[in-house]
Each structure stands twice: as C-alpha cells, then as structure tokens.
Amino acid sequence: MSLKEMVEDLQRRRAKAMEMGGPEKVARQHERGKLTCRERIDRLFDKGAFLEFGIHATHQSSSPQMEGKVTPADGLVTGTGKIDGRWVAAGAYDFTVLGGSIGQVNETKMKRLRELALRERIPIVWLIDSAGARIHETSGFAAGFAATGGLFFEQVILSGVVPQVCAMVGPGAAGTAYIPGLADFVPMVKGTSSMALAGPPLVKAVTGEEITEEDLGGSKVHTEVSGVADLEVADDEECLRVIREYLSYFPSSCDERPPVQECTDPIDRMDDELLAIVPDNPRKPYNMYKVIEKIVDHGRIFDIKPKWARTMITCLARIGGRAVGIVANQPNAMAGIIDVNSADKAARFVSLCDAFNIPLVFLMDVPGFMVGSKVEREGIIRHGAKMLHMVAAATVPKCTIVIRKAYGAGYYVMCGAAYEPDLLVAWPTAEISVMGPEGMVNILARRDLADADDATKQAMVDQIRDMINPYLSAGAAFIDDVIDPRETRMRIAHALAFSEKKEVYRPRKKHGVVPV
C-alpha cells in the first residue's frame, strides 16, 4: 500500500469514527433533546480550536458480549483546545456508543487527559452523558474497576490546582456520579440529566423502592435539595454557554491570577437606588440581589447554587473588571439566618475562590446562626465551624461591608474584624452586636423586666439599638469607616486594587483539619 493509499485509509477511519454510534443513534439522541458529544465539543470551544486525540481507540475486550461491537473512539471524545483564547482540556462521553459507558480503553484516554491538564496547568471539563461502568467487559472487569478508582484519586490531586467543571448533559450513574461529586462546578440540564450512585433498577433490587430516574437524581433534586449540583440550565446550548462564562472568571491554574477584563462601567458610579433598597424598619426583609446588582460591573452576576440554601448568596461577578466572589446573606429568606446548608454553601464557595486567587466580598446582614434541637442534631456547630475555618484560612483579598444586622457568630463567619478583611466598612444602617435588641430585651424580660409593659420594652429596644449603631464601632476603630451606600462600589474597587499583591503568612503545616 502506498503512502497516499495509507492516508486515504486514515481518512476513512477518521470519518467512520466521526459517525459515532451511527445515524439512527444520533437521531435518537436529538429526539431526546440532546446534542451529540461532538456537537457539544464544537459549541464549547472556540471555532476550529479543538484538537482531538484517541479517535482510533476501540474496546479491547474479549468478552463474548462485546464480540463484533464497534466502539468509535471507544465512546469518549478527548482533546485540548481554546475557550476565549485560553487552553482547556475536555472529555465528552458519547451516549450513542454503548451508552457512553466507561471502559478500560476510554478510561485510559481520560487518564491521559487528566495528566495533560495537571502537567500543563489548564482547566479540565467533563461532559457526562454516560450509563456508568461498562460491566459487560467481563474479561478485564476487575482491572477496569481498579483503574477507574484512579480517576477519583487523580481528581483529588487536580483539586485546587486547575479548575474542574463537570457538566451533566445526560445520565451519570455509579462511577460517573462521583466525577461531579469531586468537581468544582456542576451544571445540570433540566429534564435530560441525572446522577445517582445507583439507577432505579438497582435501587429497587436493593431497597425495594420504586422511583424514576428524575425523582432519584434529576436536576431539581440536586440543585434544590441535595446541593450536589450548582446550576440548572434549560438545554445543552445553555449549559455550554454557562461553562464558558464560568471559566472566564477563573485563572487557568492556581499559579495565576484571574483574568482582568476591560471595564466600561465607571468605578465611581454612584447609584441613588442603593438608598432605597434597605427598608427603614430594621425588621423588614429586602432582596440582597438588588444590592449586588447595583455595585458590580453592569449589574451582571454568575450565581452558584441559587436554588439551594437560599439564606446565603454565593456568586461570581466583576468590580472594575476584576473577578470577585461574593458571599452575602439574603434577608428575603428567613432573615438571612445561617443554617447547616447555608454554612456549607458559603464554606465551599470561599474555599473555591481562595484556591484560585479570586478576591472575596462579604455583604453582611446576618441575624446569626439557626438555633434549636433540630439544627443541633444536624450538627450546626460542626457546619458553622467549617465556614469559620474556610473564612479564616482564606488568604485572598477580603472586603467586608456591614449593611444591616451583624449579630453574634454570624459576624465572625461573614469576615468580621478578626478575619483579616482588607476593607471593613459599614452602612449607616448597620447594627453590630452580640445579638439583636429584641433578643436582648426578651432575655431581660424574663429576668428583670417581667412586669414591664410593651411600651417599656419597646423603649428598651430603641435604647439598645442606639447603642449598637456603626458610629460606636467606628469610634472605637473596630471598623474602618461608615460609608454612604452609594460609595460601596468605589470603596471595594479601591481595596481590590491596593490589596492585589497581598501576602499572608501562616505557620508551616501540611494542612488544617477541616471540621467536615
């Protein structure tokens, strides 16, 4: 065979692999409202910027069940390319080939991709549309099972070194469910994606429970109840757009700073609407998102876990073109109190931002931690300690704005004075205290004011409120300043600029013991 004939043969082989599981299975994928793995790759990466490797891979099983089966690229497209001009590695499981199941060969390809991401310090993206482990490769099942375990080990090694995104664009069962469990960011497509340690048939066999795939591990379950996923999106197209946007806030690795974008939104912009968002009555709720939108560039935020643990807001944004991670209490949800889930939500987000050098902005309006027997049994002390640990451990620039309530231990975990904020200011509406005035009077009422009428108690509340205003804290130099709310954007931008080269020294240690 001449070289020309060899090249023609090569091109035929490539073309065959590009057909994936064949026209019928591709059509079925589209009927389900899903893109194919190759369509997803095309939309994720800059046009013409992705280069695939492993296209000639195929299963090596000698199992009778696998005899005669054709597995183009062995059901997994892997390669590297550019997203917004920056290098990214990606692996997309192909549901048209044996349900996108994990086999020995495609896991070897994925291992190669993980090694490249670690070595070259570039983000890695998984696009999961997989039935899980390929158990019918019986000839090498034990070896394949052992090799798959290395996937999770290597994800842990990658953690905090490069950004890891795992998009659920289809099912992910058993092994493929732990990939999102260990990733940094997990979007899920509504109606077509799911993840669970065991699918409905196995659940029924083991527990007798009859349940649908959606009810077991659909996007609603994991974005609203379990908190495993970060965002629910409408379809594959939106999912891929969201991944691109998420990565735009992050550096390629922990060795770099986040990219700074040109900012056309004036730093010194004074928005009068900030004067009307917080109610005059300190007991009335308001929407913290409205405050955030007024101080960030062009009002644009990227929300993380918006439907889970709603008393806490965690989102990415930019101020003056610089990426920031915002941690904010949400007075619209149970007055912004911190419970088990909201403490976990904030702790993980702080850890994520700190790992990739993204400055943190804390917007505080917190009545404290939830109390009572229910949360004590859930371990509120342990979960609250986790948030304390992460905020204290973070060494990135930190800005704290006390907007209204700053009560008790809630003040600490929202980056109070002892937690190394590079900016600590308050709005005139701020109240910094061990607890709220009403709480203090209720305690006194049981002990010293048992016979007091409501008017007397209210007078006490007003008196205490006067004693916890921000000017007393400013007078004692416990906060840097009391500011006009309209100055918030400018003050944060100033702090981000002067703390850009911040260095923090900690005692030498292997790592802290996180109270997980």
162 vs 118: CA distance, rounded Å: 7
pLDDT, residue 452, reads 67
pLDDT, residue 199, reads 84
Domains of the chain in start order, with CATH, are: 3-248 (3.90.226.10), 274-430+469-498 (3.90.226.10), 436-468 (no CATH)
Q: Helix (H, G, I), strand (E, B), or coil: what is residue 507?
A: coil
Q: What is the token pair recorded at 409? A: 């231990």
Helix 141-158 vs helix 104-120: angle between axes, to the nearest 10 degrees? 20
Cα separations (Å) of 228 from 165, 178, 202, 484?
13, 10, 21, 39
pLDDT, residue 450, reads 59
474 vs 477: CA distance, rounded Å: 5
Binned average pLDDT, 10 residues per bin, the chain of 516 residues: 95 95 95 97 97 92 69 95 98 94 90 97 97 68 59 94 98 86 97 91 89 94 97 98 98 97 95 96 94 98 98 98 98 97 98 98 97 96 97 98 95 96 97 80 63 74 81 92 98 96 93 91
pTM of the model: 0.94
pLDDT, residue 147, reads 54
Q: What is the token pair recorded at 375? A: 């949360």
Which contacts (CB < 8 Å, 24+ apart) does range 297-302 have? 297/263, 297/265, 297/321, 298/264, 298/265, 301/326, 302/245, 302/246, 302/249
Residue among 368, 391, 361 nearest 515 (CA): 391
pLDDT, residue 269, reads 95
pLDDT, residue 145, reads 57
CB 149 within 8 A of CB 112: no
pLDDT, residue 485, reads 98
Helix (H) or strand (E) holding 189: strand 187-189
pLDDT, residue 320, reads 97
Q: Helix (H, G, I), strand (E, B), or coil: what is residue 182?
A: helix
pLDDT, residue 386, reads 97
Q: Helix (H, G, I), strand (E, B), or coil: what is residue 64?
A: helix
